[in-house]
Amino acid sequence: MENYRNDGDRPDHDDASRKRLNSPPEILAGVSEAFYREVSALQSAKTPATELVQALDGLAERVDRQLTNPYRGRRVILSLPLPQSELALTQVLIDLHSHLAQGYRSVPLRLPGTQPDTEFELVVRAASGAMRHLTRTLLYTYEGYRAAPERTWRDVHTIYDRIRRLQLQNSPAPRTSYTLAHVYKQSLLLGLSGPYELPFGVITSIVAHLPAWSEHAQLTTKLSRGAERCVFMIDPTLDKPAVPLLSHAVAPQFGEHLFFDTSDLGCFLEAQAEALTKAFHWDKDNPQHNFFQLQRLDMLRSLVRRWKTHRIRSSRRRRCASYCEVVFGVQSVCRSVEGGAPRDSTRATPPNHWRVSDFSDHGFRLTLARFDARPIDVNELVALRLVEISPAWHIGLILWARTSGPEDLEIGVRTISRHARPVTVRSLSSTGGQRRQRYSALYLPATDRTGASLILPGGAWDPDRAFAMKDGEAEHRIEMKRLIMATPAFEWFEV
């Protein structure tokens, strides 16, 4: 996989390429169809393998020059659901890279198992191209919070299985400094990173680190079991990256399985997160710096949870056919929990527009028709209540998001409190000429598992200022002990 970056100043980003990105969906679909016809013509003509790979390399360069590189150079931070124009453009890129992958994929599968060295080199070129474009297909899919196209992961596994049987997995991938095995590991890490649980754009940041991170993950046919290991089993018959192999599960007894051990990588990232935590300094004059540092820390912690130990669901999910009311943002959540109407009516979704698909003791899975959706993002603070069942509000965070179809948006909400109450927080001192300010905040009482905590609007906290909290008629000074989570919209502290 390539190290994606901002390519906005590349010389091949001509005006025609930029105009093409802003074309109507039907024009973009025509561009995709033209490339598809070229790939299909090469395959149907039974083009010799060498000529086919060379032609596909040329087509891939044109796709990069005309669409992929300009697209990556114009990336902007968006909220969900994505605009139709963005969805149309990413669908074109998904289709193009899928077509190219299928063209390359035919070469390793067409050649016999015993070939001269020159033809083995051709297989390596084709396998590398196929995996590269399949991984790009997955990346654009995950960036749009969509389900991976059918058979994509099966194709990735099939190609690598063929390469491994030819004992070519340690061959250098063309135009890179790593092997085909590392290309495959990067694809697996992309799929196992929890892309639907990441805020918009974070998956692109992860991709930039995968070439280095893949060095710390191991592919093996020998099963290393233990409570301290995080091992995945790769089943090429399943259309998914891999399945967790839990310590209490029965080891597979059939066939030769390939295992993917990410334990060392999880420990490596955990050490990076600890170092970043110790070195972090809150810069009150540079909130953007604070945000990106905290976003990186949150990204590392999220990956540690996935790649160091397996998560085991501890509560049963139950189906539900009810509807709920959902409110977004600290101010609106505080107002709703207090009993009033949300101040920001644009961020409050009317009742009965969210459908509860299922729920557990820890959260809810909700579906909303896209044309009713308000802009949201993963990790956003929400309050919800089951309209037909109880007036009580559940405070939670959007844990994941996914587009379940062309018209629907699906989200998972992790409940963080059922007994939160609105409070007022004010600063006791002013710095830099700033006036003392008051903030609507949310107080989360201590539970058996967590201490008491406080959620403030984004940008409210300042390490040089003292705060007091008014809860009802009583007011007392508070100490922010530990930052639990920070986003541009809110800051969550243990108090």
Question: 162-193 burial, b if ≥16 CB within 10 A, otherwise e?
Answer: bbbebebbebebbebebbbbbbbbbbbbbbbb
Select from 299, 136, 288 the least CA-distant residue to 205.
Answer: 299
Sorted by sequence, the CB contacts under 8 Å of residue 24 that are 6+ apart come out as: none
| Whether pLDDT at 112 is above 70 | no
Report how far residue 422's alpha carbon sits from residue 433's, in angstroms, rounded to the nearest whole number. Answer: 28
Q: Are 380 and 395 in contact (CB under 8 A)?
A: no
- Give the CATH class of 421-494: mainly beta
Q: pLDDT tens across 311-368, in order?
A: 776 667 778 777 888 888 888 898 888 875 554 444 444 544 788 888 888 899 998 7
| Whether pLDDT at 280 is above 60 | yes
| Whether pLDDT at 227 is above 90 | no
Q: Are 284 and 464 in contact (CB under 8 A)?
A: yes
Instruction: Specify the pLDDT at position 433.
Output: 46
| Whether pLDDT at 111 is above 80 | no
Question: 424-434 burial, b if ≥16 CB within 10 A, otherwise e?
Answer: ebebeeeeeee
Cα angle, residue 268 at apex, residues 303 and 138 outer, rounded to 5°: 40
Q: Are 490 and 458 in contact (CB under 8 A)?
A: yes
Report how far residue 201's alpha carbon sits from residue 78's, in angstroms, rounded to the nearest whole number. Answer: 8
Sheet holding 258-261, edge to edge: 218-220, 258-261, 231-234, 243-245
**pLDDT band at 135; cut points 50, 70, 90:** very high
Q: pLDDT tens across 380-425, in order?
A: 999 998 877 777 899 999 999 998 655 678 899 999 998 899 999 9
Q: Are 122 and 142 in contact (CB under 8 A)?
A: no
Q: What is the mean pLDDT of residues 255-283?
A: 88
Provide, rounded to the nearest whole percent, the portion of the chain with pLDDT above 90.
33
Select from 265, 248, 124 the least CA-distant residue to 189.
Answer: 265
The count of other CB atoms within 10 Å of the CB of residue 195 is 21
Q: What are phi and psi of 35, to 5 degrees?
A: -65, -40
Instruction: Specify the pLDDT at position 8.
Output: 34
Instruction: Specify the pLDDT at position 4.
Output: 33
Provide, rounded to the nearest whole percent, the portion of the chain with pLDDT above 70.
80
Report how far residue 193's alpha carbon sits from residue 142's, in angstroms, rounded to the nearest whole number. Answer: 10
343: alpha, beta or left, given left = phi > 0 and alpha = psi -120 to 50?
alpha
**pLDDT band at 141; cut points 50, 70, 90:** very high
Q: pLDDT tens across 467-493, in order?
A: 899 888 788 888 888 888 888 788 899
The count of other CB atoms within 10 Å of the CB of residue 419 is 12
| Whether pLDDT at 142 is above 70 | yes
* Bridge partner list, 354: 324, 368
**pLDDT band at 16; cut points 50, 70, 90:** low
Q: What is the mean pLDDT of residues 280-298?
A: 79
Instruction: Specify the pLDDT at position 291.
Output: 78
Q: Are 469 and 422 in contact (CB under 8 A)?
A: no
Report how far residue 415's alpha carbon sits from residue 401's, in angstroms, rounded to the nearest whole number. Answer: 15
Instruction: Specify the pLDDT at position 292.
Output: 81
137: alpha, beta or left, given left = phi > 0 and alpha = psi -120 to 50?
alpha
For the chain, the structural domain boundaries read 15-190, 218-307, 318-417, 421-494
Report how far residue 48's alpha carbon sits from residue 176's, in angstroms, rounded to the nearest whole number. Answer: 25
Q: What is the DSSP string of 143-175?
A: HTTBPPPTTHHHHHHHHHHHHHHTT-TTSBPTT
pTM of the complete model: 0.85
**First and final CA of the chain: distance in angstroms?**
43
* Bridge partner list, 491: 456, 486
Region 318-417: CATH code: 2.40.10.220
Q: What is the mean pLDDT of residues 260-276?
A: 95
Instruction: Specify the pLDDT at position 9.
Output: 34
The interaxial angle of helices 25-44 and 84-110, nearest 10 deg, is 10
Kindly report which listed range (83-97, 246-260, 430-444) carries the lowest average pLDDT score. 246-260
Sorted by sequence, the CB contacts under 8 Å of residue 239 that are 6+ apart come out as: 148, 150, 151, 152, 153, 154
